[in-house]
């Protein structure tokens, strides 16, 4: 069976060729008779005709009655637009179950890259290869995790040559457990080229992974899972346990709150299990195992991990109804998911043969970098770091699930410390007197005090302060005595706490002001968003639209830009204004409250409240909900 490669299908063929000549390649699977007719028209064009390779089955194109006319229509268009021949290889749908047959190693020259926005706007299942642009810091228009402005910088763990000699290199152990053996195709090739040309990205990712990869690798092996899955955090977060996506997915495994709750990842003011190294790894492998029980195909498993099983089920049902293959490589999915599995397979190939692709992987000792130590109750992280003889930053790197300056009194009753930490630490910690674990004192309520202001002063949430004192309401009276806990060091010393991470992002940005732009001919929300380096979701949110809204010529759109540089904001939550004369409070939503009424009360804008609380849509508020607000010191925040 012979194959020519083009984009589009059926009636979209002509439109694609006229609108985007560079992408005019569809995949035509023909019977010998059809091939003969096509060859008769195209022999003089010197096109490469390949065997046994198709990305998308389009036999229905050739089943229509004017099959004899198809070559006559294609020939002049192909002569103008060109055709791309891809290397011979096994059908990628089979690439996760068996080793590939030998394939050609010829280099493919791909056509110019399409933009992510164009592809999604036209709902065209554009192969990732045709979207690749190695000059950018993204593949398929989807930014790589480490290229986000707020990616956590971590120095690599000092390599112990004796331990490396004794336990070996984790990369070698991973390779020994590889079972997926992905065959090559153009979509994987594009992703692999990006990684191979960005050694700096790999170095930054590896520096973070030195703390975690030994553990994630060993846990995969214990559960008899493909060890390749330990590489998934590279795609999800670049092994950044503090990563937070615009969809509010958190941690190195990037769980959204709902899925995290399903898999037992608890969230409280003190603690977020989605960032916990141990709990999130357990939950991720539970999730992946359950998906494999459902699909029995690791490519579909990975796609469902990214997009959700519901979306994958719909895509499979859609293909099945049309008589099309239902493997991952044949499905029409969102651009991010179309790139997700090829990106993962590209990483697997690079780890399998780094020398072949001129990539350097820093050696990592094949041993968990940390060990677990039980704690007798709530513990100030500064006290733990001092006993362990490490910095607070290093302790947070191993315990990223703790949101603030202490562990959660409700658990988990453990902390992680470097494996080399002396056993005397365990004894000293167990015998630490309660006043040295967490400072507890009493505070007498003064005139003008309220629960929010007192909680802010001691680094607590109003709900925590209320719980600590068994208060049934938030109303206080002058002279009332409250029990409070407070950090042993100034709160800004806990640089990796949630508040300090947000504050650092905020203080690095300039204040914002609005600009207005008018939509020109053929512009969409996606194109305007790309031009101003913001997401489509943010632009839609700023203008009360959905990301699928159609823009009209001349329509006015509002954007947020920095005053000092007159450049667009990179991300709305990174530019929440905070100044030296403001402090952070947590406001409990009351019955009848709206974002507008709250903004009027505290003299801030609705956009600022949305930014501080990562609210991109106009979902309603509910009583008891906590909102973060930055208010002036002299404001009435009761």
Contact 511, 563 (CB under 8 A): yes
Band of pLDDT at residue 520, cut at 50, 70 and 90? confident
The better pLDDT of the pair 77, 355 is held by: 355
| Percent of the chain residues past pLDDT 90, beyond the cut | 43
Least confident of 44-58, 300-314, 337-351: 44-58
Average pLDDT on 458-468 reads 87
Average pLDDT on 151-156 reads 82
pLDDT reported for residue 56: 33
Q: How far apart are CA 181 and CA 98, in angstroms?
A: 7
Average pLDDT on 435-463 reads 88
pLDDT reported for residue 303: 97
CATH of domain 582-632: 3.10.350.10
Whether 574 shows a pLDDT value over 50: the answer reads: no
CATH of domain 160-352: 1.10.530.10
Question: In the chain, which residues fall in CATH 3.10.350.10?
Answer: 437-493, 582-632
Average pLDDT on 168-190 reads 92
Strands 50-51 and 138-139, sheet pairing: unpaired
pLDDT reported for residue 562: 58
Band of pLDDT at residue 165, cut at 50, 70 and 90? very high
Whether 1 shows a pLDDT value over 50: the answer reads: no
pLDDT tens-digit profile of 285-317?
999 999 999 999 999 999 999 999 999 999 999
pLDDT reported for residue 44: 30
Written as one string, the DSSP assignment of 100-152 is PPP------PPPPPPPHHHHHHTT----GGGG--TTSSEETTEE-GGGSTTPP
Both tokens assigned to 58? 């389009």
- Look up the pTM and report it: 0.62
Cα–Cα nearest to 95, from 196, 2, 185, 3: 185
Hunting for tokens 């005090």 — which residue is that? 449
Band of pLDDT at residue 330, cut at 50, 70 and 90? very high
Cα–Cα nearest to 535, from 96, 15, 437, 543: 543
Whether 108 shows a pLDDT value over 70: the answer reads: no
| Percent of the chain residues past pLDDT 70, beyond the cut | 68
Least confident of 55-59, 219-223, 255-259: 55-59
pLDDT reported for residue 619: 57
Whether 31 shows a pLDDT value over 80: the answer reads: no
Whether 112 shows a pLDDT value over 70: the answer reads: no
Average pLDDT on 230-237 reads 97
Q: What contacts 380, CB < 8 A, 6 or more positions away?
A: 405, 406, 437, 438, 439, 487, 488
Q: What is the DSSP letter of 488?
A: S
Angle, CA of 132, 318 and 545, to the nearest 5°: 65
Cα–Cα nearest to 132, from 110, 107, 117, 106: 110
Could you tell me the fold of the domain covering 509-575? Membrane-bound Lytic Murein Transglycosylase D; Chain A (3.10.350)
Q: How far apart are CA 35 and CA 29, in angstroms?
A: 9
Least confident of 254-268, 334-348, 459-473, 543-557: 543-557
* Average confidence score pLDDT of the chain: 75
Both tokens assigned to 4? 């020519």
The better pLDDT of the pair 44, 435 is held by: 435
Query: Which among 182-186, 477-481, 535-539, 549-553 has the top mean pLDDT?
Result: 477-481
The better pLDDT of the pair 514, 578 is held by: 514
Whether 84 shows a pLDDT value over 90: the answer reads: no
Least confident of 151-165, 258-272, 385-399: 151-165
pLDDT reported for residue 153: 82
What pairs with residue 272 in β-bridges? 267
Q: How far apart are CA 267 and CA 398, in angstroms?
A: 18
Whether 327 shows a pLDDT value over 80: the answer reads: yes
pLDDT reported for residue 614: 64
Whether 20 shows a pLDDT value over 50: the answer reads: no
Burial, 390: exposed, middle or buried (Cβ in 10 Å; 0-12, 13-18, 19+)? middle
Whether 190 shows a pLDDT value over 90: the answer reads: yes
Average pLDDT on 29-43 reads 35
**Would you call 556 helix, strand, or coil by DSSP?**
strand
Contact 252, 236 (CB under 8 A): yes
pLDDT reported for residue 218: 96
- Point out the residues that are catalytic: 236
Whether 34 shows a pLDDT value over 60: the answer reads: no
Average pLDDT on 395-406 reads 95
Whether 583 shows a pLDDT value over 80: the answer reads: no
Band of pLDDT at residue 505, cut at 50, 70 and 90? low
Whether 269 shows a pLDDT value over 70: the answer reads: yes
Contact 575, 564 (CB under 8 A): no
pLDDT tens-digit profile of 471-498?
988 889 999 999 999 888 888 888 888 7
Written as one string, the DSSP assignment of 135-203 is TSSEETTEE-GGGSTTPPP-PPPPP-HHHHHHH-BHHHHHHHT----PPP-HHHHHHHHHHHT-HHHHH
Average pLDDT on 11-15 reads 40
Whether 510 shows a pLDDT value over 80: the answer reads: no
Average pLDDT on 447-475 reads 87
**Would you call 413 helix, strand, or coil by DSSP?**
coil
Average pLDDT on 499-508 reads 61
Helix residue ranges per DSSP H, 389-423: 392-398
Both tokens assigned to 172? 């070698």
Dihedral sign for Cα atoms in the order 490, 494, 499, 502:
positive
Whether 101 shows a pLDDT value over 50: the answer reads: no
Contact 61, 31 (CB under 8 A): no
Phi, psi of 139 (to 5 degrees): -120, 130
Contact 395, 417 (CB under 8 A): yes
Whether 538 shows a pLDDT value over 70: the answer reads: yes
For the domain with range 437-493, which CATH number is right: 3.30.420.10, 3.40.50.300, 2.40.170.20, 3.10.350.10?
3.10.350.10
Cα–Cα nearest to 259, from 269, 273, 271: 273
pLDDT reported for residue 499: 72
Which H or E element spans position 414?
strand 414-418
Question: In the chain, which residues fall in CATH 1.10.530.10?
Answer: 160-352
Whether 142 shows a pLDDT value over 80: the answer reads: no
Band of pLDDT at residue 260, cut at 50, 70 and 90? very high
Average pLDDT on 105-109 reads 29
pLDDT reported for residue 596: 80
């Amino acid at each position: 069976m012979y194959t020519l490669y083009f984009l589009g299908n059926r009636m979209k063929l002509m439109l694609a060729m006229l609108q985007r000549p560079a992408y005019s390649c569809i995949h035509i699977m023909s019977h010998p008779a059809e091939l003969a007719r096509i060859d008769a028209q195209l022999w003089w064009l010197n096109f490469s005709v390949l065997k046994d390779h198709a990305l998308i089955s389009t036999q229905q194109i050739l089943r229509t009655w004017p099959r004899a006319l198809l070559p006559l229509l294609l020939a002049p268009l192909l002569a103008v637009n060109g055709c791309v021949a891809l290397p011979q290889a096994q059908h990628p749908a089979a690439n996760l179950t068996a080793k590939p047959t030998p394939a050609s190693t010829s280099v493919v020259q791909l056509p110019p890259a399409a933009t992510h926005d164009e592809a999604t706007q036209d709902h065209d299942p554009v192969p990732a290869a045709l979207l690749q642009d190695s000059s950018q810091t993204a593949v398929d228009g989807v930014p790589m995790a480490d290229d986000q402005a707020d990616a956590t910088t971590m120095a690599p763990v000092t390599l112990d040559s004796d331990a490396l000699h004794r336990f070996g290199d984790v990369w070698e152990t991973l390779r020994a457990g590889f079972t997926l053996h992905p065959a090559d195709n153009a979509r994987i090739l594009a992703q692999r080229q990006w990684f191979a040309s960005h050694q700096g990205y790999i170095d930054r990712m590896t520096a973070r992974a030195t703390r975690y990869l030994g553990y994630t690798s060993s846990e995969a092996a214990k559960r008899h899972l493909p060890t390749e899955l330990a590489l998934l955090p590279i795609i999800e977060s670049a092994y950044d346990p503090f990563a937070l996506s615009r969809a509010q997915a958190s941690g190195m495994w990037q769980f959204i709150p709902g899925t995290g709750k399903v898999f037992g990842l608890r969230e409280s003011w003190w603690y977020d299990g989605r960032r916990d190294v141990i709990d999130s790894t357990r939950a991720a492998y539970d999730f992946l195992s359950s998906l494999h029980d459902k699909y029995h195909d690791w490519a579909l498993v990975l796609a469902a991990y990214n997009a959700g099983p519901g979306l994958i089920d719909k895509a499979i049902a859609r293909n099945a109804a049309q008589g099309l293959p239902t493997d991952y490589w044949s499905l029409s999915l969102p651009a991010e998911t179309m790139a997700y599995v090829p990106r993962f397979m590209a990483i697997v190939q690079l780890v399998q043969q780094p020398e072949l692709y001129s990539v350097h992987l820093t050696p990592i000792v094949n041993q968990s970098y940390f060990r677990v130590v039980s704690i007798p109750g709530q513990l100030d992280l500064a006290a733990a770091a001092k006993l362990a003889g490490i910095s607070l930053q290093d302790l947070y790197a191993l315990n990223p699930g703790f949101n603030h300056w202490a562990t959660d009194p409700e658990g988990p009753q453990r902390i992680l410390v470097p494996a080399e930490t002396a056993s005397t630490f365990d004894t000293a910690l167990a015998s630490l007197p309660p006043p040295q674990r967490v400072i507890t004192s009493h505070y007498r309520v003064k005139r003008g005090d309220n629960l929010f202001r007192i909680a802010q002063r001691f680094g607590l949430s109003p709900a925590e302060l209320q719980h600590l004192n068994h208060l049934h309401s938030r109303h206080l009276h002058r002279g009332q005595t409250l029990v409070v806990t407070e950090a042993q060091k100034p709160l800004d010393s806990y640089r990796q706490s949630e508040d300090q991470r947000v504050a650092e992002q905020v203080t690095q940005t300039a204040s914002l002001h609005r600009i207005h732009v008018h939509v020109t001919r053929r512009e969409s929300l996606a194109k305007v968003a790309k031009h101003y380096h913001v997401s489509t979701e943010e632009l839609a949110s700023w203008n009360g639209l959905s990301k699928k809204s159609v823009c009209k010529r001349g329509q006015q759109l509002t954007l947020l830009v920095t005053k000092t540089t007159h450049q667009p904001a990179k991300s709305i939550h990174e530019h929440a204004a905070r100044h030296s004369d403001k402090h952070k409070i947590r406001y409990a939503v009351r019955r009848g409250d709206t974002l507008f009424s709250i903004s009027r009360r505290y003299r801030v804008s609705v956009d600022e409240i949305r930014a501080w609380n990562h609210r991109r849509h106009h979902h309603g508020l509910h009583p008891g909900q906590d909102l973060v607000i930055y208010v002036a010191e002299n404001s009435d925040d009761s």
